[in-house]
Chain A
């Protein structure tokens, strides 16, 4: 099963000295329910991490990444196989391993009631770092993580990115020889992500530490020396990222949409086509990976005008990832209503309008002077790092929080005045899975359907639609809490759409969702927008903003830019960056380097 992709020439910086070796690792868990079921988290995985090497563990949800890291840290005992860390067995000599390894769990164990310095002191005490060494080490760690200005701030008050950096500082407190990082950049904005990676590289290349890092961000795999792709507990492939690229070379294409055709429509259309492994929108163009057996772009049906804009592209890790993974069984088949892009969608009337919207918590301005409009049938994105004020804005739009100042109308109504009735036309999907976990799929749908006044045959019809549309029929009597991650997200969306709302509010719908489910999700959103549903969505995945018609980038409660993805990207265009990505644009905007007021994207 395992495909080892070895590059012809090995990376010279990688020495042969291994700091972690996993041999035929298998781990099974008894299922939560008392039945004799057994869940296999890892199956026969072998892996090696060398000194000075950054190794990435990549995979969708349930791939076994966290289990592998926990076994390496001595927190779990493998069912079969061994992990040797720095010459020690991780299960037998776990104490010795733990004093030589830095480990950062997914939710790093920061004590939120303690300050930055107190958290560091605690881990220094626990690791037995002498006082003299701390005096040398603290300033370095604080400077490296940019936390030096706030030693007295409580960890709970830090932003997501700063929390991760503090977690990293705590894991590094005793100059470990091996660093294990479990999704260190989840929920972290692009600027902080870039900084975290810089630190990781300094450690690996400067101090010769071996790093094993799990990530769900496929672009991050690109930055690793060595990547291991896990899927459902098995090692699918490993090697340097370049070796992965080679596997899909010649199968990756970019389509520049003809004038007047939104890339989204090409995307929707191609997602259904056979012979195509993956379709995404990148920097305004549609990127596609063809199936291995399809002759370059010939096997699938494509209008000539579109094919004209098609050209081969350099593959990236994500392309290889999508091509290597087996497709999911209930892969999304978009419903019939998706148009062929013959006519551009008419831009409708304004459904959401804010003018000078602001919100203060005490003296802290969460949102300041926010003005934008969303028209019928538009997908409107709210982007920004954690703490930018996205959620507060969102809560005001949904009527969950009263606006502090300014005007806000949704569907022509002021939500503050006529709440209950105006809300009947909204659909809302919260950031975390927020349905009743103990209730079954059917009961959840029934409850929310009735909540919106559906009953009898009409409710049944809508529920049948939801089962069919989201592939939930087989799960209808399972408790919502027991659904696999992707299905939870489908159910959440089904409930939000059950009453056929005019406006759909989606708060970070793809956070914590693996790349496969994310693709499926955006395809659906496209479909609904084309039916005339207005969609307002927040996300911190910059590349997802490509699916939006228009978007607003905010930071620290203020608007950085509003416009179409094309307009936003244009802000970061410069001589040395002719084709910036959305992430480049965001970083440029956040650092104040973008063409500021010169752009028409600013209001």
Chain B
């Protein structure tokens, strides 16, 4: 038998074993299949940062035509669900009880001021607890007022619109739909779950169940051991990625502007980095409980919080930004956001891909160095 056919036979054997084990172990399936699907659907259909139909209390202390017209514009906006409050104190009570998230108050002299060409004030009060949402609500309210101003100007009722107006355009994501960045980012998280958490767990399990001793005593080389764990989970992770991309594009209507082949190549790089981390952990830790803890703290949490998946990294304090540079998911989230929404922008893709390549090589090399054919730690 040639060396090569021997190698192929071993790899095929290990691959088959790993695949069967995953398919027959409920907890692996939960981690590799169920959890990713649940999260994908939650992010695709459920979770969103876009505020619509915000319940708003309208206090009309003035019933004159301009006030009614402005109120009607609020009512007509898709961003707001307006409820009329009899008094400001009732509206405040609603705000306290979280029945509404904001109050628009037009005071009794609103129309009179407008008639007399004086500045009439519109009071907008928001519940600031959710600061992010409060800001969006304020911006929407401002938009309604601006449109109303423009309308009146066009009708010749108002002499001028504000001196300078902002004409805004959101590139890459015209409707500013948060799903378009949440779902691709989630792919990075799913690949981290499979590459780091699942891999670290299955290797630790082999130690705990004693199967590792039987494997070690076969004439496998260290490189065979490494590849035997790397390849199956690489394919599993890539399959998960493929499925996620397919769902994202077809079901959740996320635009994919870059090329699919580039996406696959760069995902493969990230997958290798995530696997490298998982294998590094598993080479050092032989207990599932500890492996799970370490991979959650070093793989999972950073992939959520230090990657730009949900929170903008550039606004975090400097130490956090520095730490984020050793998180592979950070580079991949940048890549995948660009590929999905902007396209093949090489000036973004190349440096990030290079970082991933360096990390993948480093992690896998370290994992290889720590793999041993002996029962004692090296």
Contacts and interface: CB of A to CB of B under 8 A. Distances in A.
Q: Do chains A and B touch in the complex (CB under 8 A)?
A: yes
Interface of A: 29, 70, 73-77, 94-96, 98-99, 101, 103-114, 118, 121-128, 130, 170
B46 interface: no
Given A105-B210, A111-B21, A125 B13 contact: yes
A109 B221 contact: no
Contacts, number: 97
Given A114-B21, A122-B13, A128-B1, A107 B217 contact: no
B209 A109 contact: yes
Contacts of A76: 374-376
A339 to B, nearest CB: 46
A151 to B, nearest CB: 15
Interface string B31-47: 00000000000000000
Among B14, B17, B218, the most chain A Cβ lie within 10 Å of the Cβ of B218
A127 B219 contact: yes
B62 to A, nearest CB: 73
B210 A128 contact: no
A98 B219 contact: yes
Interface of B: 1, 6, 9-10, 12-14, 16-17, 20-21, 24-25, 206, 209-221, 373-376
Contacts of A104: 214
A123 B218 contact: yes
Contact of B13 (A73, A95, A126): A126
Given A77-B376, A128-B6, 4 more contacts: A29-B376, A75-B217, A109-B209, A128-B219
Contact of B210 (A70, A73, A109): A109
Nearest to A69: B217
Pick from A118, A126, A130, A170 the residue with the most CB of B within 10 Å.
A126
A111 B217 contact: no
B10 A125 contact: yes
A108 B20 contact: no
Nearest to B220: A126
A146 B376 CA distance: 36
A235 B213 CA distance: 26
A96 B218 contact: no
B219 A99 contact: yes
Nearest to A67: B375
B253 to A, nearest CB: 39
A179 B374 CA distance: 19
B117 to A, nearest CB: 81
Contacts of B219: 95-96, 98-99, 126-128
A126 B10 contact: yes
Contacts of B209: 107, 109, 112
Contacts of A118: 16-17, 20
A105 B13 contact: no
Contacts of B213: 75, 105, 107, 109
Given A73-B217, A75-B213, A121 B13 contact: yes
Given A75-B375, A99-B219, A126 B211 contact: no
A500 to B, nearest CB: 38
Contacts of B12: 125
A130 B1 contact: yes
Contacts of B210: 105-109
A600 to B, nearest CB: 46
B17 A111 contact: yes
Nearest to A106: B210
A401 B53 CA distance: 56
Contacts of A95: 219, 221, 373
A122 B16 contact: yes
A90 B21 CA distance: 32
Contacts of B218: 98-99, 123, 126-127
